Amino acid sequence: MAGAAASSEGRQAFPVLQSVTHNTYQPLAWQALAELCDAVRKYGLGSAKVMQVLSYFNANLLTPFDIWSLARTLFPPVKYDFFEYKWTQLAVRAVERNVTLGPGDPRRMVNTDMLLGTGNYTRADEQAGFEPSVQEQCQQTGMAALVQTIQLATPQESFVTIIQGVDEPFLSFAGWLTAVVEKQVSDPEARKLMLQSLARSNCNAVCKGIIEALPGDLPMSQMVEACARITPSSQQMVAVATAVQTSHGYGCPTDGGYSSPTSRACSRAAGCGCCCAARLGRSPGGATAAMGCSGQEETGQKGTEAYGCLVSLGTMWKAESCCGRV
């Protein structure tokens, strides 16, 4: 009977003792699990030390019961849920591939519950009695799910710095993000999920509003298509609307006058109505601007003074329409 392999500090870690006639299950040594937990705490989930400890576990036979124990040691609830999803996904694919194996291969009879150790196969001692090729497939899919969850949960610091600029096209941002993720995440499924998550969280406010308004978990290609319709003018319009919504009083900015082309100003007239961005257009000089006013206008040669609000992103110009009195 082969002895259980030792962990990096000599402690017994591996639970299935193999013999010619049958296998004997022993629980994972608590010392080995404590070493793994300590490595996560000291060095971080995605550290080389954690991967080293996992490699000691993976060196000998593990049951699905043991894989679940490792996952509970490694992951908090949200990451654990993703691990469960990932392992299930890998197990389903393995079962589909097994159908193509030869008629004498024991893996042809394997179902998803067997690979996951769920349903009627939750007892560790029964899992230890699986055919060797089945045990190997259980361990391969389970460890792959562990590693892919670690990769997804611990992106490199460079990912965090890839933020879409206010005026940056989404396609440019997506290309940069994809290039960095592809260099650092080898598994295609983990890479896909990471790209979807980072694209949503790191895009600018305009793209985020468009993406979140669409149903389902969009792949990167659909995010690019949806955000490709955004123009610089529409990005400016959102900025105007945001400035108006966050202003004081009747929704009017309060810095007091039209002091510069980029000022956000409320007219000196009392009783300013609720401001809104009325239109986007082009001034005769070619600068883009957005206007909001409460109705009455007095137009000068270089711009518009309204008994309401003016929010300008360029050279001031005459408003072609106003919101009307609120």
Q: Give the chain's mean pLDDT.
A: 70
Statement: residue 159 has pLDDT above 60? yes
Helix/strand/coil for 290: strand
Model confidence over 62-118: pLDDT tens digits?
A: 999 999 999 999 998 888 999 999 999 999 999 999 999 998 999 999 999 999 999
As a whole number, mean pLDDT of residues 184-208 equals 83
Statement: residue 13 has pLDDT above 70? no
What is the pLDDT, as a whole number, of residue 110? 95
CA angle 188, 192, 198 (to 5 degrees): 140
What is the pLDDT, as a whole number, of residue 15? 54
Task: Give burial (CB, 10 Å; 0-12/13-18/19+) of 129.
Answer: middle
Model confidence over 32-67: pLDDT tens digits?
A: 999 999 999 998 888 888 888 898 898 888 999 999
Q: b/e per residue, 293-315, with b = 16+ CB within 10 A? A: bbeebeeeeebbbbbbbbbbbbb
Helix/strand/coil for 212: helix
Q: Using pLDDT thresholds of 50, 70 and 90, give the confidence band for residue 170.
A: very high
Statement: residue 213 has pLDDT above 80? yes
Q: Which residue has the higher pLDDT, 229 or 139?
A: 139
Q: Which residue has the higher pLDDT, 56 or 257?
A: 56
Task: Tell me the fold of 16-153.
Answer: Human Immunodeficiency Virus Type 1 Capsid Protein (1.10.375)
Q: Using pLDDT thresholds of 50, 70 and 90, give the confidence band for residue 197.
A: confident
Statement: residue 138 has pLDDT above 80? yes
**How many CA atoms lie within 13 Å of 50's alpha carbon, on the beta-carbon side?**
21
Is there a contact between 183 and 158 (Cβ–Cβ < 8 Å)? no
Q: Using pLDDT thresholds of 50, 70 and 90, give the confidence band for residue 288.
A: very low
What is the C-alpha separation between 144 and 78, in angstroms, rounded?
Answer: 18
Q: Using pLDDT thresholds of 50, 70 and 90, give the confidence band for residue 11.
A: very low
DSSP state, residue 6: B
Domain boundaries, the chain: 16-153, 157-230, 233-311
Tell how strand 279-282 and strand 16-17 pair up: unpaired
Model confidence over 230-244: pLDDT tens digits?
A: 765 555 544 444 443
Task: Please give the structure tokens belonging to residue 17.
Answer: 């003792």
Q: What is the 3-state secondary structure (H, E, C) of 83-141?
A: HHHHHHHHHHHHHHHHCCCCCCCHHHHCCHHHHHCCCCCCCHHHHCCCCHHHHHHHHHH
Helix H segments across the chain? 30-43, 48-58, 64-74, 77-98, 112-116, 124-127, 132-153, 157-160, 170-184, 188-202, 205-213, 220-227, 232-245
What is the C-alpha separation between 138 and 62, in angstroms, rounded?
Answer: 8
Q: Which residue has the higher pLDDT, 121 or 166?
A: 121
Q: Which residue has the higher pLDDT, 305 or 191?
A: 191
Statement: residue 308 has pLDDT above 50? no
How many residues would you count in the chain? 326
Task: Tell me the fold of 157-230.
Answer: 1.10.1200
Statement: residue 245 has pLDDT above 60? no
Lowest average pLDDT, out of 24-33, 107-116, 133-142, 248-257, goes to 248-257
As a whole number, mean pLDDT of residues 166-180 equals 89
Statement: residue 313 has pLDDT above 50? no
Residue 45 falls in which region: left (phi positive, over 0), alpha (psi -120 to 50) or beta: alpha
As a whole number, mean pLDDT of residues 254-264 equals 33
